Chains A and B, each alone.
Chain A
Amino acid sequence: MTVLSIANLKIHFDTIDGTAKVLDDVCLSVNEAEVVGLVGETGCGKSVTAKTILGSLPMPPGKVPDGKILFFCDDLLKLNKHDRHRVMSEKMSYIPQDPMTSLNPVFTVGEQMGDLIRWQGRRRVGPLEFLGLRRGRHNAVAKAVKLLDRVEIPAPKEIVRRYPIELSGGMRQRVLIAMALIGRPSLLIADEPTTALDVTIQKGVLTLIEEKVEEEELSVLYITHNLGVARRLCNRVYVMYGGAIAETAKTKDLLRDPIHPYTCGLISSIPKLTGDEFKGIDGRIPDYIDPPTGCRFHPRCPQLMPICGQEKPELIEVKDDHLVACHLFSRGGGR
């Protein structure tokens, strides 16, 4: 069953210099109990995609000129504010990218987690509960300790009494991961959750997510720029370039047999421990205010053809479950 399906999503931002056309016809879907990776270099629009799904993109300056986001049967972009918040807090969860600014500095970790545990997804909270005059607080903190223990934070009983500024970036990141695992979401959107963590802890977190996927049929949209992590965790991967999906396939197929020139470059740019020469992709991510015409990758593409600067390639299926947006493979294209 499809949990999330995004079709032709466009996102623009109004800036002083003009309209930044960041997302350009993003199509993406996540099935039940599936882990889907979203990879791409920095600034390609991964976080913007995540925030749009979650409805946390500030609008204005952001706007959605076109597109559809289906979550189960709801078109999220058409729901009103309250319904959307309800759907989101009941069925979605989120690990934000920046652990330094994502925790409220004037409340202890235990207080923030405790309130989430007790009240997550509720619309109203009674005044007595609000003032902490009802029981339940204690249990909530105990549960917070348990959750923190699962993300391998040392001395979780201490941590719940600490303020975020007393924690390191990696610890905050794990607090945020623990927070995201409160409740039973259907979809977890994780925005580079392990970037600030060292390899052993990263492994623990990935295992934890895998367990959740198996036990609770959780679906995950996992944003990363680390193809190694994607290989380990994801069933399918979307490669994003300049605000559009360049290629998508099963992780194995994509890594073994990439066909979009950008994906090929991305894979060959992974530094290898064997000390082979490091090959990158020349050039930089496009300017969104005045993006290249046609395929946004064409100024950097090693296999440039005349048509690339004129027409935007469509995302088409070239093999089983392997879609690519490149004129090399489109009808009447090169091959």
Chain B
Amino acid sequence: MNGGFQINHCIHCQVTVEASLQECPLCGKKLTNTRLSVPRSYPAYALHNKSSYYFQLFWKTLVPLMFIGAFLIPSLITLLTGEGDLWLNRETLGIASAWVLVRYTFLSRMHMGKKFLLQIMNISLALFIFDHVGEARGWSVNYVIPFMLICSTLAMMYIVYKRKRLWSDYAVYVMTLIFLGFLPSFLYLIRVTSLLWPSAAAAGFAIVSLIAVYFFLDKNFRSYFNRRLHF
């Protein structure tokens, strides 16, 4: 009785070992009489697992560390001592923002809706800082961010409308995005923004979206709330 097991022996452990193994799994000693032609119980694990591991290690750990070492720490020292150059400028922020873009879209397995939302915030923040480094001109909050919010809400709503199956998965992100539409108006109220109409348009669009969500998707919407909010 060896259950279709083609076998080999480890003299040290006094056990039988699967024929295709080259070392004893218990003591690690080299085995004689290994027959590689006999099929193994487990697959040989592909090397891509390992290379993707190092690739991820590089992007997720090393790159941010390099960035912190090369830019942030010198900047901090500059801030504290008042000597040297301030590295926290447009270029370094551009690099940081691009890294967030790569790291959290291509290298991340997170939910598409979340990726989308995160990148909108990433780009908005980057544009805002670009705009306000040196002399503040306000183009980011006045025009770009309100219109970007309108377009992205529209895009997300369109995707969810086309593929209703996605609704329950995306709802949380659609709702967050809609509520972000009120942010430019808030910025106007606290006088960060100087131009009213694009911000007002974004808020108006957010209200229209809420109504649309309520009427067009209302059946799913209600069942969605039952599920999400049960306690």
Q: Do A and B bind each other?
A: no
| Chain B residues packing against A (C-beta within 8 Å) | none
| Chain A residues packing against B (C-beta within 8 Å) | none
